[in-house]
Structure 1
């Protein structure tokens, strides 16, 4: 889908009309899973070589951050579909030129929708292409913070269920907690990758040779974004450590539960071993067994078997093993 955003009094009005590409104040082109016709149309209008999905997925820095004829090509993986419960990390390309700002994506990060709505309602601080890029990046950073808050909330709930299980009425099974912890870890990993990639992208954008950092306003916004991303990166590292701790604690509880089950079987085996021994002795087929002629031999054997079963159980209970 091709969406053009036209600048009007500091705001950006979205338009899906193909003729909007020729508008004199068209400042942002958003390509969302474009078809070949839309790609060629944008390339013809801007003179840019729009990267393919395979090129966007390359992990080398030289393939993600480069310039061509004064246009800056920057690609970073962003997290999407977080609230849907199936988070994905997909590459998004930002192209900054002196005349137009182009974004290319094949997923739907929530930050894009939020920024488009915000830019339509209120005026942006800078409607030049590089200003729109920085404003969009600020929204992306805010979205990172929101996702981190979701992760932190999930981790706190898991922590309560792991360490305060006796105080919770609707405690989830340990297998469910283990899966929830794994999902938190997976999302944190994807988010950590996105934050690191955006920090590299911002650092490269602010390189003196690109020229944008000469403006004091741009320089201050880059500094602020850099500090925010560094802070989010530190918090992500903390969450990673916390989730690993919760994973170890959950596995520890599973081991404890398994140990309890094994202990029950061990106690049962120890308790029934003496009666089994007595029954085995008197079940032998020898001709001379004096006890077989006793009138009280049978009840004595039964009493011995009961006593040999009860005494070990009493001893285990006294020792606190049961």
Structure 2
């Protein structure tokens, strides 16, 4: 599908047909393009656009390059970020003179919000390079929102780990399992956003070089620097969130280990406490004729009392030592 945009009173307006409005179109957005649509864009733009396989290559030379006077820039962007399983896919920006072409195979939210805003408000996006800057700003804002939401979720997970929990062991085990799953999901999101920001950081660096080469206006170059600084700060924040997630994972595993040690300690103490009574019962359960207490009237209460006393003494000693 091709969406073609023209400038109307300093605003972007969706054109009915690319071919009919070819001279006025400043931005063509390709979503899951067919071969015919790719041919149409290449004829209109005058340069060949990359295929999906070429967009997915990770080499810098395959993502940021100049060809036939056009500048090709590819970044990895997330989509479906409302859930904890974002779809990551490359998006290519082709800047050829006053025209911009975007090629994508998924729908990042910025590609929906930016055109709507540019249609209603005069944002100064009248050429390919200013549209590219505005689109990058919308993408960075979206990534910032995702990181803020992830940060709030991580704080909630942190409170769930360290606050008092249920006294029932099976309930605590289920809680820890859910926490581990939540931590894993947040690590996936933070890692994906960090990868996206790294690709955007490279893109903005390349774009700054392009701005110098083609002598973009001072205002545009300043906006590129601002976007670059925002991307760098968000990358640092994403790294911080990943480190915090790693800490929470270690803390959760530590809490699970403490729970397991507590259970093992209970069984160990119980075994030690009941060992002396078992020894007493074993002695008086032996089948020997000459047992002094065998004919004694107080033999049975004496044996029971001895067993109780032998159980109480280890328990008292453990409590005094602080082991219980």
TM-score of the pair, normalised by structure 1: 0.90
The alignment partner of 2:140 has SS state of: helix
2:130 counterpart of 1:128: no
Residue-by-residue CA offset, 1:152-183 (whole Å, 9 max, x unaligned): 2112212222233369xx99812222222222
TM-aligned CA deviation for residue 53 of structure 1: 2.0
Q: Is the CA contact (8 Å cut-off) linking 1:212 and 1:218 kept in structure 2?
A: no
Cα RMSD of the aligned pairs, angstroms, is: 2.4
Matched, 1:65 2:64: yes
Does the residue aligned with 1:22 lie in a helix, a strand or coil?
Answer: coil
Within-5 A mapping of 1:112-261: 112-165=111-164, 173-207=175-209, 211-261=213-263
CA separation of 1:7 and 1:269: change in aligned 2, threshold 3 A: same
Measure, in 1, the Cα distance between the counterparts of 2:43 and 2:269: 80
**1:96 aligned onto 2:95:** yes
Equivalent position to 2:18, from 17, 20, 27: 20
What TM-score do you get using the length of structure 2 for normalisation? 0.89
For 1:208 and 1:57, the matched residues in 2 are separated by 22
Query: Is the 2:45–2:96 Cα contact (8 Å) retained in structure 1?
Result: no
**Whole-Å separation in 1 of the counterparts to 2:8 and 2:210:** 31
Between the aligned partners of 1:7 and 1:320, the Cα distance in structure 2 is 78
Q: Say if 1:13 and 1:67 are closer, same or farther in 2 by CA, change over 3 A.
A: same
Q: CA deviation at 1:119?
A: 1.2
Of 275, 294, 297, the match for 2:296: 294
Q: CA deviation at 1:66?
A: 0.9
Gaps of 5+ in 2: none
* CA-to-aligned-CA distance 1:69-106 (integer Å, 9 cap, x gap): 11111111112222122123211111111142111111
1:92 is paired with a residue of what secondary structure? strand
Which runs of 5 or more structure 1 residues have no equivalent in the other structure? none
Does the CA-based 8 Å contact 1:4-1:21 persist in structure 2? Answer: no
Residue equivalent to 1:31: 30
Measure how far apart 1:139 and its partner are: 0.6
Give, in whole Å, the separation in 2 of the partners of 1:213 and 1:202: 16
| Structure-2 separation of matches of 1:21 and 1:314 | 91
